[in-house]
Amino acid sequence: MTYSTSEGLFVILITLVGMGTLLALTRKTPWHKMDIFLLILTGIFYLLDTVWWWFDLHFYWSDIYFTFGKHREQLTIFFILAGISFGILMVLRLKRKTRQH
């Protein structure tokens, strides 16, 4: 399961733009310590995912394989954890944003 560098960098760009857009939607919501912790945690997991892809590291515990259409795809556990921590961050911020109005 190898991706070209341009494909990998494109996925990284799209993910970062998407995350930045979602954070921009909640820019007027005050930041709490939990928000900052979750954002740092998301960054660490996302950085680990990028390192795993860049150096082509594959271990039985770090990769999850699935089939999408006729293509075999993989996700690292770090990408999933980054998604979960970012999802929790967005839920907390959106909840707080709706309470402000």
DSSP 65: E
Supply the mean pLDDT for the chain. 90
CB 91 within 8 A of CB 27: no
In this model, does residue 72 exceed pLDDT 90?
Answer: no
In this model, does residue 57 exceed pLDDT 80?
Answer: yes
Reported as a pLDDT band with limits 50, 70 and 90, residue 88 is very high
Report residue 62: phi and psi, to 5°. -105, -15
| Separation between Cα atoms, residue 50 and residue 42, nearest integer Å | 12
Average pLDDT, integer, range 80-96: 95
Average pLDDT, integer, range 82-89: 96
| Separation between Cα atoms, residue 15 and residue 81, nearest integer Å | 14
The pLDDT, as a whole number, for residue 22 is 93
